[in-house]
């Protein structure tokens, strides 16, 4: 093939790929431009999750009519003159690329009016073709409208995720910018109801509720810390409030939302030994650093920065967060509580005397469909005297319950040695198989709640839940939208009636966020597995002997009793042979 220079059109579409990946990245660039223009109010309207329309209106300084054409040229910016400026940059933009990029892959209309001009002006760009500037009436400020994103690059269109996912990305983005700029009024809407609206009164706590929901926001701890020109402010979670992923950790550095920053690791370190393995804090932190200490020009979408002295910043963040955590947390109890879920209130269940005294029968709230069917009380048989009974792989033999240890594991004896059963994983498996069996028969009994539980969610979470309402309904939930980003749980699958529905629902939404677009046909099984995980007894939950036995019995009847629906083992087997070797009764000395 001959080497040739790309046509400007193709070149700009390629360049656009770096900046414009999805609707949310367009919104990000436009919102940053509005902030750079000194806007006090920013209104974002979208249609079809941003695919057909994104309109960002601001009341900033506007763009003079005779500069409009320049604004959509590549490398045209009013924010930077020399490369040195990069190290004292106070604006979010500086590359002069966003409008050109967006204009090359959409139908872009800019309407702007500056304070000095008598009228406004409008310019359209379609797939990179720049039109003529027209005079129009418009309020002071700028309105940028982007229609039919990627209409001329079908290949990129294919990479967009489901509407729900794209919409969530926009929600998440705007909520975070609203939090970073509390003195600016933000509004986001699709159709008539705004999903986010802030007052611009500078109160970050109020906006925090939009990000996390009211309950979580209330629990977040304040961080304020200053040192040698660095300042850290914002919110972090107390040790009792955690997530299974790092997605709720947000960092803004000098007003920019930075993703995947090493500072996330610094924050997590601040919680060292205070959180269980695999749990992460929530945070929305705003770091102000001297501009000369930060290189902002390391990423086309400006989503990363580099520090001149990373260790110093790292340690500053870690110490500041740690101080805030310790100031609010009575450490030993909190750590213990976290480890045990709820602190066990009595001696170990393995004590038979205590067992007897404590064996009050069924737990309140259990129903007949429920966790621990009361039918078979002691079907576990004593171990067979013939040691030849080898368990079928994948199945479990009949087990004789010995007791519960650490309020977490069941100890049982089988024909070939000792079994340690993880009560949570085992219960997950049991619930999952029951639920899926009912689901197959299309007869999941659901149980109305006496008092419907109301759950407040952050906008992004609310969108997620909305997307999955039908699936949850198939699984026996009855959940209805209940005002702005709130939901009312009216019924849950009868299998779960002993669990706390609001908490479980919130946890479910958190799980939804972990993977973006699951395959449609996998969704039900996957959501069922998650529901079961949330509804299953927890590690740290004291079970009475009847419950322990019922759990073992149920596990014995499972088709795949050896793993939980997520693939983790439900039990560990210590065979007689292994015990003998360990105690030196058998084998080489
Ligand atoms: P950058 O933000 O890196 O300068 P952009 O392509 O995003 O590059 O914007 C180009 C120029 O257009 C900006 O430098 C600014 O002068 C002008 N501009 C863009 N959006 C706005 C806005 N909302 N209000 C005022 N001026 C704007
Ligand atoms: Mg810009």
Residue of minimum CA distance from atom 7 in ligand 1: 98
**Between these two residues, 393 and 274, which has the higher pLDDT value?**
274
Average pLDDT, integer, range 407-425: 92
Residues in Cβ contact with 17 at an 8 Å cutoff, skipping those fewer than 6 apart: 156
At residue 515 the predicted structure's pLDDT band, cuts being 50, 70 and 90, is: low
- Pick the residue with more confidence: 4 or 379? 4
CA distance 469 to 505: 11
pLDDT beyond 70 at 364: no
Query: What pLDDT, in 10s, does the model give residues 194-231?
Result: 999 999 999 999 899 888 888 889 889 999 999 999 99
For the chain, the helix, strand and coil percentages under 3-state DSSP, each to the nearest 5: 40, 20, 40
Span 314-320, average pLDDT: 94
Give the pLDDT score at 102: 95
In whole angstroms, give the CA distance from residue 382 to residue 343.
32
Tell me 513's DSSP state. Answer: T
Fill in the DSSP letter of residue 476: T
Please name the residue that has the structure tokens 């309904």. Answer: 473
Q: For residue 33, report the distance from its CA to the centre of ligand 1, in Å.
A: 5
Please state whether 175 falls in left (phi above 0), alpha (psi between -120 and 50) or beta: alpha
Q: For position 143, what pLDDT does the model report? A: 98
Rg, Å, the chain Cα set: 29
Mean pLDDT for all residues in the chain: 82
- Kindly list the distances between the CA atom of residue 347 and the CA atoms of 352, 357, 537, in Å, as whole numbers in the listed order: 11, 12, 19
pLDDT at 368: 31
pLDDT at 33 over 90: yes
Task: State the DSSP code for 382.
Answer: P
Closest CA to 526 of 465, 463, 464, 472: 472
Alpha carbons 182 and 189: distance in angstroms, whole number? 18
In our burial notation (b when 16+ CB lie closer than 10 A, e otherwise), range 426-441 reads bbbbbbbbbbbebbee
Higher-scoring residue by pLDDT: 371, 470: 470
Q: Is the pLDDT of residue 335 over 60?
A: no
Per-residue pLDDT at 286: 97
Average pLDDT rounded to a whole number, residues 132-149 = 97
Residue of 93, 138, 296 with the most ligand 1 atoms within 8 Å of its CB, for mutation: 93
Q: Which atom of ligand 1 is nearest to the CA of 29?
A: 7
pLDDT band at 439 (very low <50, low <70, confident <90, very high): confident
| 419 in Cβ contact with 413 (< 8 Å) | yes
Question: Quick one: which of 112, 89, 108, 91 has its CA closest to 99?
Answer: 108
How many A from CA of 25 to the centre of ligand 2?
A: 11
Which tens digits make up the pLDDT trace of 518-561? 445 466 777 788 888 888 888 888 999 999 999 999 998 888 88
CA angle at 196 for the pair 302 and 19, rounded to the nearest 5°: 20
Residue 445: what pLDDT?
87
pLDDT for the residue 401: 94
Ligand nearest to the CA of 37: 1
Six-digit token string for 111: 């309407």
Count CB-CB contacts under 10 A for residue 12. Answer: 20
Query: Which-ligand-closest: CA of 95?
Result: 1
Asked if 94 and 85 touch (Cβ cutoff 8 Å), the reply is yes
Distance CA 493, CA 475 (A): 7
What's residue 101's pLDDT? 93
Mean pLDDT of 495-517: 72
Spatial distance between the Cα atoms of 47 and 51, rounded to a whole number of angstroms: 7
Helix count and strand count (H, E) for the chain: 18, 23
Number of residues in the chain? 589
Most confident range (mean pLDDT) of 1-10, 162-171, 345-354 is 162-171
519/526 Cα distance (integer angstroms): 10
pLDDT at residue 467, rounded to an integer: 82
Residues within 5 Å of ion ligand 2 by Cβ? Answer: 33, 93, 98
Q: Which residues line ligand 1 (CB under 6 A)?
A: 29, 33-34, 37, 58, 60-63, 71, 76-79, 93-100, 142
153 pLDDT above the threshold of 60: yes
Pocket test residue of 56, 60, 70, 71 for ligand 1, highest count of atoms within 8 A of CB: 71
Which 8-state DSSP code applies to residue 254?
T
Q: How many angstroms does the Cα of residue 134 sit away from the middle of ligand 2?
A: 23
pLDDT digits (tens, 9 = 90+) for 80-102: 778 777 777 788 888 888 999 99
């Amino acid at each position: 093939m001959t080497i040739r220079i790309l046509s400007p059109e193709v070149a700009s579409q390629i360049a656009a790929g770096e900046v414009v990946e999805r609707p949310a990245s367009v919104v990000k660039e436009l919102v940053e431009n509005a902030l750079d223009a000194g806007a006090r109010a920013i209104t974002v309207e979208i249609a079809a999750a941003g695919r057909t329309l994104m309109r960002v209106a601001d009341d900033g300084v506007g763009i003079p009519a005779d500069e409009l054409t320049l604004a959509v040229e590549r490398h045209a910016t009013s924010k930077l003159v020399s490369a040195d400026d990069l190290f004292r940059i106070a604006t979010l933009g500086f590359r002069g690329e966003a409008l050109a990029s967006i204009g090359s892959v959409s139908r872009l209309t800019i309407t702007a009016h500056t304070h000095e001009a008598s009228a406004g002006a409008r310019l359209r760009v379609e797939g990179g073709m720049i039109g003529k500037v027209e005079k129009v009436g418009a309020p002071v400020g700028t309105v940028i409208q982007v229609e039919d994103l990627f209409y001329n690059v079908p290949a990129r269109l294919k990479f967009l995720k489901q509407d729900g996912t794209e919409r969530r990305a926009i929600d998440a983005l705007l909520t975070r910018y609203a939090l970073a700029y509390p003195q600016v009024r933000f509004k986001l809407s699709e159709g008539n109801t705004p999903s986010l609206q802030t007052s611009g009164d500078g109160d970050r706590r109020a906006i925090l509720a939009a990000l996390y929901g009211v309950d979580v926001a209330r629990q977040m701890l304040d961080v304020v810390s200053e040192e040698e020109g660095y300042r850290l402010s914002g919110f972090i979670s107390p040790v009792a409030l955690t997530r299974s992923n790092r997605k709720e950790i947000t960092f803004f550095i000098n007003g920019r939302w930075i993703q995947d920053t090493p500072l996330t690791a610094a924050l997590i370190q601040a919680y060292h030994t205070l959180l269980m393995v695999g749990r992460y804090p929530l945070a929305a932190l705003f770091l102000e650093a001297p501009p000369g200490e930060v290189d902002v020009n390391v990423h086309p979408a400006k989503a990363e920065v580099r520090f001149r002295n990373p260790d110093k910043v790292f340690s500053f963040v870690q110490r500041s967060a740690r101080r805030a955590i310790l100031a609010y947390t009575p450490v030993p109890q909190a750590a213990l509580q976290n480890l045990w879920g709820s602190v066990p209130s009595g001696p170990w269940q393995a004590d038979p005397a205590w067992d007897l005294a404590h064996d009050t029968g069924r737990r309140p709230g259990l129903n007949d469909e429920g966790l621990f069917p009361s039918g078979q009380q002691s079907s576990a048989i004593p171990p067979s005297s013939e040691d030849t009974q080898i368990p079928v792989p994948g199945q479990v033999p009949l087990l004789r319950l010995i007791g519960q240890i650490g309020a977490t594991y069941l100890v049982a004896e089988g024909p070939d040695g000792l079994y340690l059963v993880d009560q949570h994983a085992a219960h997950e498996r049991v619930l999952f198989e029951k639920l899926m069996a009912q689901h197959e028969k299309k007869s999941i009994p659901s149980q109305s709640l006496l008092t419907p539980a109301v759950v407040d969610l952050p906008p992004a979470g609310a969108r997620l839940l909305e997307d999955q309402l039908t699936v949850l309904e198939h699984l026996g939930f009855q959940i209805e939208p209940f005002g702005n980003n709130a939901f009312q749980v009216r019924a849950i699958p009868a299998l779960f009636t002993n669990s706390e529905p609001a908490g479980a629902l919130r946890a479910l939404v958190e799980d939804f966020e972990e993977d973006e677009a699951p395959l449609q046909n996998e969704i039900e099984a996957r959501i069922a597995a998650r529901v079961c995980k949330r509804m299953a007894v927890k590690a740290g939950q004291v079970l009475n002997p009847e419950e322990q036995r019922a759990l073992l019995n149920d596990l014995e009847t499972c088709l795949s009793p050896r793993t939980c629906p997520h693939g983790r083992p439900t039990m560990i087997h210590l065979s007689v042979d292994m015990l003998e070797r360990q105690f030196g009764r058998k084998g080489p000395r």
